[in-house]
Amino acid sequence: MEEDKQTFGLKQNINKAAAIRSMCQTPGFKVLQEEFKSKIQKATNKILDPDTSIDEVAKLRQDIRIWTDVEKMLKTLMLKGELCVRALDSIETSNTTSPKVSDKE
């Protein structure tokens, strides 16, 4: 029973990762990603400009962090899915290769 819950949880994470990977490969996401990269580059250039005020630098850093946090979250979900695939394979392998133990011993 416990193994069924574990397997179910692993499969859910695998499905989430597959959905995220699929979304990230769409043309719309690629456009969004390029837009954010452009904004980050512009913000970085402005941060490096000595004429930019400290308050504006803080705001720009916050804006940049939002996108980098989203990217980290997406990468984490995909990595978690990959690790769940390995764990599920390991569970299935151990179930098929472990010898049957008789209760009559």
Using the predicted structure, report yes or no on whether residue 100 has a pLDDT greater than 70.
no
- Tell if the pTM clears 0.75, that is, is over it: no
Query: Residue 54, class by beta-carbon neighbours within 10 Å (0-12 exposed, 13-18 middle, 19+ buried)?
Result: exposed
In the block, tokens 């574990």 appear at 6
pLDDT for residue 11: 93
And the tokens for 15?
């499905």
Give the separation between CA 69 and CA 104, rounded to whole angstroms.
Answer: 57
Cα three-residue angle 76-79-81, rounded to 5 degrees: 110
Segment 57-63 long-range contacts (CB within 8 Å, at least 24 positions apart)? 63/39
Confidence band (pLDDT; 50, 70, 90) for 103?
A: low
Give the separation between CA 42 and CA 56, rounded to whole angstroms.
Answer: 13
* Interval 40-97: pLDDT, tens: 999 999 999 999 999 999 999 998 998 899 999 999 999 999 999 999 998 888 877 6
Using the predicted structure, report yes or no on whether residue 1 has a pLDDT greater than 90.
no
pLDDT for residue 26: 96
Query: Which position has the higher pLDDT, 105 or 58?
Result: 58
pLDDT for residue 96: 76
